[in-house]
């Protein structure tokens, strides 16, 4: 049996011991690969192109007209009929019936002053008038009696029953009473004039609108003192409110005296309010005021609106274009075309060449343009841009063509 076991043991195949495989380095390789990929992605994230926030404006187009522009100017809307309403007398305000923006009519009561003193003075003057009238009537009665006495004395003198001295005394009494009656008639007239004066002072305590218009300011409150002249420092008002007649609105512009020859009375004008840059208002020249400002070398020109509109307000800024008369044969006829306009702030000039950055999708393109005349804060573009293009306003010096941009809302 022992031999058999030895023989079987001799047949056993000897194997090498199993070695444990080390997978640690594989794990580190995987970790490093992940970290490397994340770092590259982070690098791409932080180095990606950032969009530049820009402000844009649309290129507009002004339709072609039948008249050519000969001159541009700037001015303001003014009211030819404008008044700060004050009182004729100094007094204390007890009532104000007007507010800013209120429409008022001619003769409407705007305010009232304390009139107690004026009423008392009127009552005194009226009493004096009544007293003068009573004195006049009394002396008229005496005069009638004196005339009867004089007639009686005259007849008695003819009959020899009265002396000439008595007749003369009766005549003197008549003359004296006639003079006294005339005096009291004059006193009655003076009293009536005094009553009228005190009534006027009482009426002056009521402040009325001198014309129809719109109240644009309210300058006094109940309890304050108001005076037609400046008095009492800042404690006394000189006005109740300011009224503007909106029917008297017109435009005042200063034109350089070198170009005043291009302006004629009745000349057509196109006016554009700064508040409504897309609204062209037809107007006409009233007159060029016949004097020049030596300091500014300008001449003021008055321009009337052909049609008034509630949107037109006093002191609004306005830009006007003086138009050539179609019948003016001194200037050759031209074929008018639509005018493309772009904000001046969107134009970049380098070495006598003008450019604009046009937004194309999410990027900008630098486009060379050719400009013409100016129209207020806008510039005429002869070539390079079309109506509807969006241009960058006030582009940054670092902005380049092809840059990624986002439009500022």
CA distance 262 to 253: 14
Looking at the fold, whether 96 and 230 belong to one and the same domain comes out as yes
User: Please, which residues have CB within 8 angstroms of residue 368's CB and are 6 or more apart in sequence?
Assistant: 353, 354, 355, 384
396 and 345 belong to one structural domain: yes
Span 351-361, mean pLDDT? 88
Which tens digit of pLDDT belongs to each residue from 290-308? Answer: 999 888 889 999 999 999 9
CA distance 169 to 164: 9
Same domain (yes/no): 370, 227: no
Q: How far is CA 275 from CA 58, 123, 245, 291, 351, in A?
A: 17, 57, 21, 30, 34
Classify residue 18: in a domain, yes or no: no
Report residue 353's pLDDT band, with 50, 70 and 90 as the boundaries: confident
Q: Determine the pLDDT at residue 51.
A: 83
CATH number at residue 237: 2.40.50.100
Q: Would residue 39 count as lying in a domain?
A: no
CA atoms within 13 A on the CB side of 88: 11
Asked whether residue 20 is domain-assigned, the answer is no
Does the pLDDT of residue 274 top 80, yes or no? yes
Neighbours of 180 (CB within 10 A): 17
pLDDT at residue 21 is higher than 60: no
Specify the pLDDT at position 334: 38
Give the residue from 172, 203, 234 where a domain finishes. Answer: 203
Residue that finishes a domain, picked among 151, 173, 203: 203
Query: Worst-scoring range by mean pLDDT, 143-147, 168-172, 342-346, 380-384?
Result: 380-384
DSSP 28: H
* Together in a domain, 129 and 272: no
* Residues 215, 109 share a domain: yes
pLDDT digit string, tens, across residues 92-103:
999 999 999 999
pLDDT tops 80 at residue 204: yes
pLDDT band at 73 (very low <50, low <70, confident <90, very high): confident
Closest CA to 135 of 175, 76, 84, 187: 187
Burial of 117 (0-12, 13-18, 19+ CB in 10 A): middle
Residue 192, in any domain of the structure: yes
Residues in the chain, total: 409
Give alpha helix (H) positions in 160-236: 164-203
pLDDT score at 77: 95
Q: At what angle do helices 116-159 and 164-203 cross, to 10 degrees?
A: 170
Residues 110 and 214 in one domain: yes
Task: Assess whether pLDDT exceeds 50 at residue 331.
Answer: no
Confidence (pLDDT) at 342:
85
Residue 169 has pLDDT above 60, yes or no: yes
Structural domains counted in the chain: 4
49: which DSSP letter? P
Task: Answer yes or no: is 14 within a domain.
Answer: no
| Residue at token pair 């004296």 | 176
Same domain, 403 and 361: yes
Last residue of a domain, one of 203, 232, 253: 203
pLDDT at 8: 54
> Of 52-66, 75-89, 282-296, which range is least confident?
52-66
Per-residue confidence band for 45, with pLDDT thresholds at 50, 70 and 90: very low
Domain range for 364: 53-63+337-407
**Residue 25 lies inside a defined structural domain of this protein:** no
3-state secondary structure of 224: coil
Enter the tokens of residue 190.
């003076």
Given pLDDT bands bounded at 50, 70 and 90, which one contains residue 43? very low
**What pTM was computed for the model?**
0.55
């Amino acid at each position: 049996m022992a031999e058999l076991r030895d023989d079987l043991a001799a047949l056993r195949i000897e194997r090498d011991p199993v070695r444990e495989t080390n997978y640690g380095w594989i794990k580190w390789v995987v970790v490093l690969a992940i970290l490397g990929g994340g770092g590259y992605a982070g690098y791409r994230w932080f180095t990606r192109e950032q969009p530049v926030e820009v402000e844009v404006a649309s290129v507009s187009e002004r339709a072609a007209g039948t008249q050519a522009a000969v001159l541009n100017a700037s001015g303001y809307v003014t009211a030819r009929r404008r008044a700060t309403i004050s009182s004729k007398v100094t007094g204390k305000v007890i009532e104000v019936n007007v507010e800013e923006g209120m429409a008022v009519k001619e003769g409407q009561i705007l305010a009232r002053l304390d009139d107690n003193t004026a009423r008392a003075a009127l009552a005194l003057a009226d009493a004096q008038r009544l007293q003068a009238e009573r004195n006049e009537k009394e002396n008229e009665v005496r005069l009638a009696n004196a005339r009867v006495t004089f007639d009686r004395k005259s007849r008695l003198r003819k009959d020899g029953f009265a002396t000439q001295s008595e007749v003369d005394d009766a005549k003197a009494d008549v003359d004296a009473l006639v003079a006294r009656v005339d005096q009291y008639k004059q006193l009655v007239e003076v009293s009536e004039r005094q009553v009228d004066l005190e009534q006027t002072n009482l009426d002056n305590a009521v402040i009325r609108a001198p014309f129809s218009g719109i109240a644009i300011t309210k300058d006094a409150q109940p309890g304050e003192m108001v005076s037609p002249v400046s008095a009492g420092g800042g404690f006394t008002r000189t006005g109740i409110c300011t009224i503007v007649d909106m029917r008297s609105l017109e435009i005042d512009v200063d034109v350089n005296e070198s170009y005043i020859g291009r302006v004629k009375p009745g000349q057509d004008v196109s006016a554009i309010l700064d508040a409504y840059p897309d609204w062209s208002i037809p107007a006409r020249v009233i007159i060029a005021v016949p004097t020049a400002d030596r300091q500014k070398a300008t001449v003021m020109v008055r321009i009337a609106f052909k049609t008034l509109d509630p949107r037109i307000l006093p002191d609004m800024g306005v830009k006007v274009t003086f138009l050539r008369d179609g019948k003016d044969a001194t200037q050759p006829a031209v074929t008018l075309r639509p005018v493309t306009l772009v904000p001046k702030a969107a134009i970049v000039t380098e070495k006598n060449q003008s450019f604009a950055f046009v937004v194309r999708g999410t990027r900008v393109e630098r486009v060379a343009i050719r400009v013409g005349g100016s129209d207020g804060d806008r510039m005429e573009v002869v070539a390079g841009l079309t109506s509807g293009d969006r241009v960058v306003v006030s582009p940054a010096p670092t902005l380049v063509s092809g840059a990624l941009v986002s439009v500022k809302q």
